[in-house]
Amino acid sequence: MTTETHGPVRVRFAPSPTGFLHVGGARTAIYNDLLRQKLGGAFILRIEDTDKERSDEAMTRQIQSALAWIGTVWDEGPFLQSERLPRHHERAEELLAAGKAYRCFCTPEELDAQRAEAQKKGTAFRYPRTCLRLSQEEVEARLAEGRTFAVRFRMPDDNIRFKDMVRGDMDFPPDALDDFILLRSDGNPTYHMSVVVDDIDMRITHVIRGEDHLSNTPKHIPLFQALGGEVPTFGHLPLILGPDKKRLSKRYGATSVEEFRNEGILPQALYNFLALLGWSPGDDREIMTREEMIQLFSVDRLNASPAVFDREKLLWMSSQYMARHSTAELMPHLQTFLEQAGLADADPDRLAATLELHRTRARTLKEMVEQVLPYFRESLEYDAAACAKFLKDPALPGLLETLRDRYAALPEFTKEALEAGLRALSEERGVKAGVLIHPVRMALSGAAGGPPLFDLVEVMGREASRRHLDRFVAYLRAGNAATGSPG
RNA sequence: GUCCCCAUCGUCUAGUGGUUAGGACUCUGCCCUUUCAAGGCAGCAACACGGGUUCGAAUCCCGUUGGGGAUACCA
């Protein structure tokens, strides 16, 4: 918005390990990454795993791997928030001793009833500070009875104001906030307590997080102050929406970084795409390397309005990235797809050559491998609809046999020689080159479209080409017989 | 319900009082071409609505509508 930001900064990304890394989270991590790289400082990765029932160690590893895969770089961590619980507890005790927090003996049942009441009256529920008014003696008496208590933060009575990096001036009146809980009655710190203590201890200067935290910020700011910490600069990112303008959900396909990885999206493409979902460099540039984005990045250009996730555009961007990288560069990313397709042991040169032919014809790595698979098959399925026109020409099988024989006899099996051979034959027989070209493509690939024919034949090789032409001629003849075309 | 946020082509966006409202994805057409892609060119398509402020509003203010978020002893 209008926030001047200059480095160095200490930023953090703090996911809770309750599932795969969501693209929304990935985008948050990307903006933190860009800001850190732009201004210097440190990016801290912190895993907020204090909700043990929902947290999973495997997910923690998964999130790290997803972050590393898209290309974000963190300098410190991962720190596990669960390991810092004693520290959070200790700081809460300090607040209690200093009178900045107080014990609350109200039971959840009582509070629920009060909440329901407020709901019925159509007003916002705010903790009525029942226990703040307890005298020292009353507190002692309850403690003596052995009653359990939660610890609540004593919120200040003034408006909470701050300048959000993406939304500008924010102002929350005191009646919108209440004395939230710091320590649960089982003694465990709540999320609010943990984040603020961690952000202070980790000397965080800038917090970029999702909009779902916007209403937490006016709680966190006074807590930072009460704990004697520097209040970081906040920026709240709008959520990523699905085509239905609701929060992006599984309903419309992949939502996690992991899934896009499995679909064969190049990590650089996903990084680029996500970075552009809520930020733009200000000019018309779209395809940018991380380095370029770091150069161009500015929190001032972060958008405040939510963006719809457009799968088509991601696919387009993915294809752009494949077109701009050599097959050799793509190879490491292709590995798992090659294994899945059973091509892990294929001849490397031949594999590279076929992949090269399809690099600009596929939108994902997975598609690229699928397109290349027929080159390694003994026999092919022919696209029957596209074959229909070849079946009608009784001269074609003979022509293809002649071509097959000439190709087999070629001294040099190069695309130049192959093209010369085919064109010579077409001229001799007085047919257009296309009459031969299309059936040959079908014979070798099973498809009506694809790479330039002579590249295709060369890569296919002498032996395989011969075999495929044989099979296709047989297929055509069988087809003619089947349709019972009269002599 | 209450509080908060958001609003330019279908989608991502540029635009910060005066523009023929620009670019990208998608779609359509043409060129290139042995096909499919890629690439090039062209086209379709937007300031949610209503009031102000102003000589002049996509841009500033107020409403309405629509969408989203938050309303926990979850994170």
- Looking at residue A3, what is its pLDDT? 47
Tokens representing A152 are 């609540």
Residues A182-207: b if buried by 16+ CB within 10 A, e if exposed:
bbebeeebbbbbbbbbbbbebebbbb
Active site residue A120: no
What is the rounded average pLDDT of the residues A413-427?
Answer: 92
ipTM: 0.95
Residue A192 contacts residue A216 (beta carbons within 8 Å): yes
What is the 3 state secondary structure string of A192-205?
HHHHHHHHHHCCCC
Nucleic strand B within 7 A of Cβ A115? yes
**Residue A468 pLDDT exceeds 70:** yes
Nucleic strand B within 7 A of Cβ A451? yes
**Residue A481 pLDDT exceeds 60:** no
Q: What is the pTM of this model?
A: 0.93
The string of pLDDT tens digits covering residues A434-460 is: 989 999 999 999 888 999 999 999 999
What is the rounded average pLDDT of the residues A180-194?
Answer: 94
The string of pLDDT tens digits covering residues A190-248 is: 999 999 999 999 999 999 999 999 999 999 999 999 999 999 999 999 999 999 888 89
The string of pLDDT tens digits covering residues A51-68 is: 877 778 889 999 999 999
Q: How far apart are CA A459 and CA A468, in angstroms?
A: 13
Percent of chain A with pLDDT over 70: 97
Nucleic strand B within 7 A of Cβ A172? yes
Ranges of H-type helices in A216-287:
217-226, 257-263, 267-275
Report which of residues 182-201 in chain A place their beta carbon less than 7 angstroms from any atom of strand B: 184-186, 188, 190-192, 194
